Amino acid sequence: MVAHRRHHFLLETFCFCAIIVALFPEKAYAIAGKCSACKAVSAELQEALNKENKQRNHIDMRGRLDSKGQRYGKLIPYSVSEQRYLELVEDFCETSRVPDYQLSKADLSRNETEDSWYKAPKGTVRGAQAKTEQREIQTYCERVMEEVEEELQTLLYEEKLNETNVEQYVCYELSPQCVSKAEWKKKKKDRKEGMDRHTGKYDTATMKEL
Ligand SMILES: *[C@@H]1O[C@H](CO)[C@@H](O)[C@H](O)[C@H]1NC(C)=O
Ligand SMILES: *[C@@H]1O[C@H](CO)[C@@H](O)[C@H](O)[C@H]1NC(C)=O
């Protein structure tokens, strides 16, 4: 009986591990030239942000009428609306030019130590290897976007994103794509402690009080 239960336990443990491995395939996490892949994703996101139509109307959330027939609710500036965020990130990895990036092997003669991603001219990505790389960077893009999503949205609402800083946020601050994980963790902790010590609002990049 004991032996039987033990067997059962081992089997359960095995199944559990198998599920974990199936849910989090290591491959999706690893990409050659990770930092440069992140920079590629950020560059496209930056471009989408910079190309936005800045003259959008406020979002009218005053959907209801009070007893005097007056509309009530909020009028939300488009710049800090959820709609703006969604328009920016929805299907971004698929419909932006992220899938046009291709992997270039490190050129040892130029002292390059890492493979890196470069943007191929539109419509030139052909062939099996190229398609594989296309899928790779798109999958990577989806993973990074998912990872930074919440904080990125907050930055947008706080109007912290500008014409140049998407890469700094995405690859260095929100996710350790271009810095070592240990360094990133430490900085993140410092930032958090800075926030805890004071009560005011902070520029998360400089930690200067606003
Ligand atoms: C590559 O590095 C070596 C040794 O550090 C140096 O002598 C050489 O000039 C470098 N080559 C280039 C193209 O930068
Ligand atoms: C964008 O924001 C960064 C901080 O995140 C700042 O250092 C930089 O000067 C800003 N650039 C512009 C063009 O406002």
pLDDT tens readout for residues 31-66: 999 999 999 999 999 999 999 877 777 877 777 778
Gap from CA of 110 to ligand 1 centroid (Å): 7
- Gap between the Cα atoms of 201 and 210, Å rounded: 6
For residue 158, tell me if it sits in a domain.
Answer: yes
Which carries the bigger pLDDT value, residue 14 or residue 97?
Answer: 97
Which carries the bigger pLDDT value, residue 145 or residue 202?
Answer: 145
For residue 99, tell me if it sits in a domain.
Answer: yes
For residue 14, tell me if it sits in a domain.
Answer: no
The predicted model gives 177-194 an average pLDDT of 87
Domain boundaries, position 48: 25-197
State which ligand 1 atom lies nearest to the alpha carbon of 111: 1
- Gap between the Cα atoms of 82 and 159, Å rounded: 13
pLDDT above 70 covers a percentage of the chain that reads 78
For residue 13, tell me if it sits in a domain.
Answer: no
For residue 4, tell me if it sits in a domain.
Answer: no
User: Is the pLDDT confidence value at 204 over 70?
Assistant: no
Structure tokens at 130: 């190229």
User: Is the pLDDT confidence value at 25 over 50?
Assistant: no
Which carries the bigger pLDDT value, residue 190 or residue 103?
Answer: 103
pLDDT at 117: 96
State which ligand 1 atom lies nearest to the alpha carbon of 110: 13
For residue 204, tell me if it sits in a domain.
Answer: no
Closest listed ligand to the CA of 109: 1
User: Is the pLDDT confidence value at 26 over 50?
Assistant: no
- For ligand 2, which residues put their CB under 6 angstroms from it? 162-165, 168, 205
Closest listed ligand to the CA of 111: 1
For residue 161, tell me if it sits in a domain.
Answer: yes
For residue 34, tell me if it sits in a domain.
Answer: yes
Gap from CA of 55 to ligand 1 centroid (Å): 50
pLDDT at 29: 60
The predicted model gives 75-84 an average pLDDT of 85
| pLDDT band with cut points at 50, 70 and 90 for residue 200 | very low
Q: Compute the C-alpha angle 183/92/131, nearest 5°.
A: 90
pLDDT at 86: 92
Q: Are 191 and 184 in contact (CB under 8 A)?
A: no
- For ligand 1, which residues put their CB under 6 angstroms from it? 110-111
Closest listed ligand to the CA of 162: 2
Q: For residue 165, what are the β-bridge partners?
A: none
Q: How many domains does the chain have?
A: 1
Gap from CA of 158 to ligand 2 centroid (Å): 14
The predicted model gives 173-197 an average pLDDT of 85
- Gap between the Cα atoms of 177 and 197, Å rounded: 28
The predicted model gives 99-117 an average pLDDT of 91
Gap from CA of 113 to ligand 1 centroid (Å): 12
pLDDT at 176: 96
| Distances in whole angstroms, Cα of residue 42 to Cα of each of 38, 96, 152, 165 | 6, 11, 12, 9
The predicted model gives 80-98 an average pLDDT of 93
pLDDT above 90 covers a percentage of the chain that reads 50
- Gap between the Cα atoms of 60 and 75, Å rounded: 5
User: Is the pLDDT confidence value at 28 over 50?
Assistant: no
Ligand 1 atom 2 nearest Cα = 111
Ligand 2 atom 6 nearest Cα = 165
